[in-house]
Amino acid sequence: MNSLLVGLGCFVAHVVVCLIWLRVSRGPSPVVRHAVSALGTHVVGVIVAASLLAELAYWPVAAVSGFGAVCFLFAFSAVYKSVSLRILTQLDRTPGHAIPFAVVARDYVQPEFEARVAVLVKMNCAAGVDGGYVATEAGNATARRIGVIQRACGIESSGLYGEPITQPVP
């Protein structure tokens, strides 16, 4: 039981340290801050607990601390990068709770698309041509590998919503 409580303590310390550190404008990326915080609070927590307790089973500490850190990272990532949640938040803040489609497309969808395509171009998976984009050979190979993994996992749809892309984009 002590080990589970130590693991929980490490996780709570991670959340506190991470939330404070994320408010600092300088430093590594938020994901790196999460990783460093999770590892640092875990190591310090284990050292402190081992010095105070007569016996400490390490693996339960690691399981609870690690599980909590991963869950917190997933929750943070969802609200940090989710376009849907940013749109929903803006809808809530807007008088009448409505935004025209053109504004949503311009302010949320277009910038996100441009950022993601820029990453694909930088990775040599796509190239800009004639006002659009085309997959490179490396991009096609990556898409085929992802397709194999999706089929193996039974997730051949386009995302969380379960709607497969069936129509080719013109």
CA 67, 14, 84, 113 dihedral sign is negative
Host H or E run for residue 148: helix 137-153
Is the domain of 106 the same as that of 75? no
Judgement on whether residues 69 and 10 belong to the same structural domain of the protein: yes
Q: At what angle do helices 58-81 and 83-93 cross, to 10 degrees?
A: 60
pLDDT surpasses 80 at 163: no
pLDDT above 60 for 107: yes
163 falls within a domain: no
Q: Which two tokens stand for residue 33?
A: 């801050």
Last residue of a domain, one of 45, 65, 81: 81
Q: State the pLDDT confidence band at 61, using cuts at 50, 70 and 90.
A: very high
CB 30 within 8 A of CB 18: no
* Host domain of residue 121: 84-153
Q: What crossing angle do the helices spanning 2-22 and 58-81 adopt, rounded to 10°?
A: 30
| Rounded-to-integer distance, Cα 10 and Cα 21, Å | 16
Q: How much is the pLDDT for 142?
A: 94
Per-residue model confidence (pLDDT) at position 16: 95
Share of residues in the chain with pLDDT > 90 (%): 62
Residue-wise pLDDT for 37-46, tens only, equals 999 999 999 9
pLDDT at 5 over 90: yes
* Span 64-81, average pLDDT: 90
How many structural domains is the chain composed of? 2
What's the pTM? 0.64
Answer yes or no: do 120 and 68 share one domain.
Answer: no
